[in-house]
Amino acid sequence: PEGEITAGYLMKKSGKTNGWSRRWFVLNEKTGKLGYTKKQEERNFRGTITLEECTIEEIPEDEVEKSKSSKDKKPNGPDSKGPGLVFKITCKVPYKTVLKAHNAIVLKAESVVDKNEWINKLQKVIQARGGQVGSVSMRQSLSEGSLDKM
């Protein structure tokens, strides 16, 4: 049935090298889990994230790059600004990890459309499973004035 599986490539930020690696992500809305593999054909996930204990937030691209040393900064070309493609999945449970040893995982979509689609789907799964969506962008997306009709 549609609406249960979403799959596609996202760039995953490596905790070790700070580099990005392209991974195939599969979101199962039924189980509320997000898994990933190196290649689309792989059958076994290299990691899975239980979304109901996570929050999703968008992060500005320059904030992600800040953690790198200044010497490998690329000159800011016209493409370095603009809407960010990066979002972060963080575990809400203190001291609990999202994935392996990380308490957050930083992902980057290949386009703004992709990013919005992933974030919407992920947040929908979190909400459906009773998690909170703590990101500001969710509240802003409610149409203006819709709150005072309640």
Domain boundaries, the chain: 5-137
The predicted structure's pLDDT at residue 132: 55
Q: Tens digit of pLDDT for each residue in 105-149?
A: 999 999 999 999 999 999 999 988 876 555 443 433 344 444 444
DSSP state of 87: E
Is the backbone of residue 72 left (phi > 0), alpha (psi -120 to 50) or beta?
Answer: alpha
Q: Which residues of the chain have pLDDT under 70?
A: 1-3, 65-82, 131-150
* Residue 64: Cβ within 10 Å count: 18
Instruction: Note the CATH number of domain 5-137.
Output: 2.30.29.30
The predicted structure's pLDDT at residue 130: 76
